[in-house]
Structure formats: structure tokens, C-alpha cells
């Protein structure tokens, strides 16, 4: 089966798919309809050989048996054949007008008059000679641009063309069993730099609905400087997709992690990537300097310290130690002399009157006194 373009076509070996999709004309019609939904104009045809399928697609023919090639392709004019321009002109001057005119001549006469190229081409059409074609290898990146029929002034109006581009992207991903983890979108304006949108995901996907959900969140916060004239979508890296197996109640650890990933993606799309992050440890004895923000896809490096709280106050708060009951301590921390933020403290685990467990320290340097610094969960 062939789906032709302006100068060439996409050839598909469809014989093994008939039991699943039905006859080749049914498969071809379905492909043409789905491509039409993405904005492409396509034709389909089928035959026993690649060149015959290309010729049949131009006429919307589906030729089931190789014995019917001569009869159904014979009326084609010479202009439809893949012939050299000068060669076709010479044939027309000699009175040849259709493919069947050439098929009636003996091979020796054709070879003597026009050389071996013309008989070889006819043999490839009829399947007498093999006609191997290069295998199609999809690119390792995706890029598509959509010129809008009319300028769009609102973000809400961009949803339809963007959904079309995402469906096109995900169709390519499903066909190549690949996925994306980042997508870049450029909204072109007439006399203003393009508005840029980047969608980042916690895990690879080929689900257009998931991408569209994040894009809606981003568009709600976007302010267009001018009307949008065109839209470009790029996926710079296509990754191998691992679909996995889902359980009925989505209660496996992997599926629970996926739910957390989806939530973090939506929060980042709504609040900004810098507003949603994780934490990781830093090798420093001072509690306020022993951590830093990390990207959600970065592996945390933390050492569990059960005698320290998991929640620190933004800034230590002065307190009176006589209001609390000391449970454990002290733990001496004396550090930071090399960076100008040196301290000398004794930390204690204390309990307040309401029963809560807190982390307090007595500071000797630089500010003497008692301070609350953390809360045990």
C-alpha cells in the first residue's frame, strides 16, 4: 500500500494486517481520514509491487492480484510514470500515449530503442524484477509548524491548534514506540519576539491528554503581547517508551509514584518550575545550611538523623527554656569559622506543655540566649 506525496510516497507492507484491519481499501481509507484530521491531504492505493502501488494511489485504485496490473494500470498516461523528461518526450513524439502502449511492445524492441532503463522500469511495475526500497527510519527529534488561517488574540483560542500539533506528535511517538519528557512551543507574532512555552515532565509520556492538561495550566498564566500568527512545536529528544502494566486499583508503588509525578507536573505548570522543588542534603553541621533545593528529577542525597527534626523553622525563635521540659541533649555544634558564619550551640530535645516535641538550642556565639529551631513530627 502507498500513500503518495508530491514526489514520493510512504510505502506500507499491508498484507499481514488484513486480518486485523480488513481489506486494503478499508485500511487506506482509515489512514487518509486520520491524516485529514491532522490537516494533511493524502491519497492511498495498493498493488502487489511498490511502483504499481504508487501509480495506483494517484488513481485511488486497490489492485488485489498482480495479474490485474496490466488491465487496471494500462490506461495511465505517460505523464504519471516515473520516466525521464526527455525520454517521455521522445515516447510521445513516437505516438505512445499510455502505459499499455509500452506494455504491448517486445522487451528487445524497447531495449534497442530506449536502452535497458525503460524495460527495467516496466518490469519493476509488473513485479518481474525485484524493486527493493530503503527502510524508513524516523528522526530522533520532532518538529512541526502550523500556519494559522487567521490571527488568534486569546490563549483560549490556541487550544484547538495546539491540540492538533500534540496529536500529531503523539501519533509519531506511538508509531515509533517512543516518548518525550520535554516539549518546546513557540507562538509566533507579527512584529514581536515569539512567546516561548516549555513543558517539562517527571517521566516520559506519549499521552496527548497529559500534555494538553499541562498546557492548559500554562496558558492560564500566559499573557500574549500580540496576536499569534503561527505555532511551532519541537520535541528535541525522543526517548524509548516503557509502558509498564497497570493494576486495577492503581495501588502499586510505581503507580502511586506516577500519581505524585502528575500532581507535581500540574503544580509546576501552574506555579512555575522554581516554586515546586525537592530537598537534598549538604555536608554541613549547621542545620540551616545542611540542605538545599533540588530539581524533582534529581536524586536526593540525605542521611537519616533520627535525633534531629524533619521540620526547621525559617528562622530560630527566641524562647525561655524554663517553659519547656528537657528530654535529651546537649548536642554541641561548633562550626562555620571559615565562611564568616561561625556558631557555637548546644542543642536539646524539649517538650512543651501541650505535649509537642521541639528542638531548641542555647547559643553562645554570635548571639547568646535560647532559641527554638525545629519541630519533631
Q: Residue for cell digits 513485479?
A: 127
Across the range 154-175, mean pLDDT stands at 91
Task: Give the residue-averaged pLDDT of 156-185.
Answer: 91
Distant-in-sequence, close-in-space partners of 119: CB < 8 Å, separation ≥ 6: 107, 110, 111
Mean residue pLDDT across the chain? 86
Mean pLDDT along residues 154-165? 92
Q: What is the pLDDT of residues 334-367, one digit of tens each?
A: 988 888 888 899 999 999 988 889 999 999 988 8
- Give the C-alpha separation, 143 to 242, whole Å: 23
User: What is the predicted pLDDT for the residue at 16?
Assistant: 81
What pLDDT score was predicted for residue 309?
A: 87
- Higher-confidence residue of 74 and 258: namely 74
Residue 245 has a pLDDT of 65
Pick the range with the lowest mean pLDDT from 188-197, 273-282, 359-368: 273-282
More confident residue, 38 or 329: 329
Closest CA to 374 of 357, 354, 352: 357
Give the total residue count for the chain: 377
Instruction: Identify the pLDDT of residue 42.
Output: 86
pLDDT at position 249 is 63
pLDDT greater than 70 at residue 81:
yes
Instruction: Give pLDDT, residue 151.
Output: 92
Q: Which residue has the higher pLDDT, 368 or 10?
A: 368
363, 369 contact by CB (below 8 A): yes
First-residue to last-residue Cα distance in the chain: 66
Distance CA 112, CA 327 (A): 107
Q: Over range 21-33, report the average pLDDT.
A: 87
pTM: 0.57
pLDDT for 241 beyond 90: no
Name 183's bridge partners: 199
Q: For residue 317, is pLDDT > 70?
A: yes
Say yes or no to pLDDT of 136 above 80.
no
**Is residue 261's pLDDT more than 80?**
no
The predicted structure's pLDDT at residue 244: 66
Cell 500574549 maps to which residue?
A: 224
Q: Give the mean model confidence (pLDDT) for residues 320-342.
A: 89
3-state helix, strand, coil in the chain (%, to 5): 35, 30, 35
Assess whether pLDDT exceeds 80 at residue 12. Answer: yes
What's the topology of domain 142-246?
Dna Ligase; domain 1 (3.30.1490)
Q: How far apart are CA 40 and CA 208, in angstroms?
A: 19
Compute the average pLDDT of residues 222-246. 87
pLDDT of amino acid 160? 92
Q: Say which range, 28-32, 68-72, 274-278, has the weakest mean pLDDT.
A: 274-278
**Residue extents of the structural domains in the chain:** 2-126, 142-246, 300-375
In tens, the pLDDT along 192-214 reads 999 999 988 888 888 899 999 89
Q: Which residue(s) pair with 178 in the sheet?
A: 240
Q: Average the pLDDT over 308-320 and give the result.
A: 89
Amino acid at each position: 500500500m502507498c500513500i503518495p506525496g508530491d514526489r514520493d510516497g510512504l510505502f506500507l507492507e499491508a498484507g499481514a494486517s488484513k486480518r486485523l484491519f480488513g481489506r486494503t481499501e478499508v485500511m487506506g481509507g482509515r489512514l487518509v481520514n486520520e491524516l485529514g484530521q491532522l490537516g494533511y491531504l493524502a491519497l492511498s492505493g495498493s498493488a502487489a509491487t511498490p511502483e504499481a502501488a504508487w501509480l495506483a494511489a494517484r488513481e485511488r485504485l486497490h489492485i488485489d492480484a498482480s495479474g490485474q496490473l496490466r488491465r487496471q494500470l494500462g490506461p495511465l498516461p505517460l505523464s504519471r510514470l516515473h520516466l525521464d523528461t526527455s525520454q517521455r518526450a521522445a515516447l510521445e513524439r513516437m505516438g505512445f500515449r499510455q502505459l499499455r502502449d509500452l506494455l504491448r511492445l517486445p522487451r528487445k524492441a524497447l531495449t534497442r530503442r530506449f536502452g535497458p532503463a525503460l524495460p527495467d522500469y516496466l518490469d519493476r511495475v509488473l513485479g518481474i524484477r525485484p524493486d527493493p526500497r530503503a527502510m524508513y527510519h524516523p528522526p530522533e527529534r520532532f518538529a512541526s509548524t502550523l500556519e494559522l488561517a487567521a490571527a488568534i488574540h486569546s490563549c483560549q483560542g490556541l487550544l484547538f491548534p495546539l491540540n492538533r500539533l500534540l496529536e500529531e506528535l503523539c501519533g509519531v511517538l506511538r508509531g515509533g514506540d517512543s516518548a518525550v519528557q520535554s516539549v518546546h512551543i513557540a507562538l509566533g507574532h507579527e512584529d514581536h519576539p515569539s512567546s516561548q512555552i516549555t513543558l517539562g515532565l517527571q517521566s516520559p509520556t506519549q499521552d496527548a491528554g497529559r500534555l494538553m492538561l499541562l498546557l492548559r495550566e500554562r496558558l492560564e498564566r500566559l499573557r500574549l503581547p500580540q496576536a499569534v500568527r503561527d505555532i511551532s512545536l519541537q520535541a528535541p529528544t525522543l526517548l524509548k517508551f516503557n509502558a509498564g502494566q497497570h493494576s486495577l486499583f492503581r495501588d502499586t508503588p510505581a503507580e502511586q509514584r506516577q500519581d505524585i509525578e502528575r500532581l507535581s507536573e500540574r503544580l509546576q505548570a501552574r506555579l512555575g518550575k522554581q516554586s515546586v522543588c525537592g530537598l537534598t542534603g549538604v555536608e554541613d553541621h549547621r542545620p540551616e545550611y545542611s540542605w538545599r533545593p533540588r530539581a524533582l528529577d534529581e536524586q536526593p542525597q540525605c542521611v537519616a538523623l533520627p535525633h534531629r527534626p524533619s521540620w526547621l523553622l525559617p528562622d530560630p525563635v527566641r524562647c525561655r527554656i524554663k517553659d519547656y521540659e528537657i528530654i535529651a541533649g546537649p548536642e554541641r555544634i561548633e562550626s562555620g569559622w571559615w565562611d564568616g558564619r561561625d556558631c557555637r550551640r548546644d542543642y536539646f530535645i524539649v517538650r512543651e506543655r501541650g505535649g509537642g516535641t521541639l528542638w531548641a538550642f542555647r547559643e553562645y556565639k554570635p548571639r547568646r540566649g535560647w532559641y527554638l529551631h525545629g519541630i519533631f513530627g
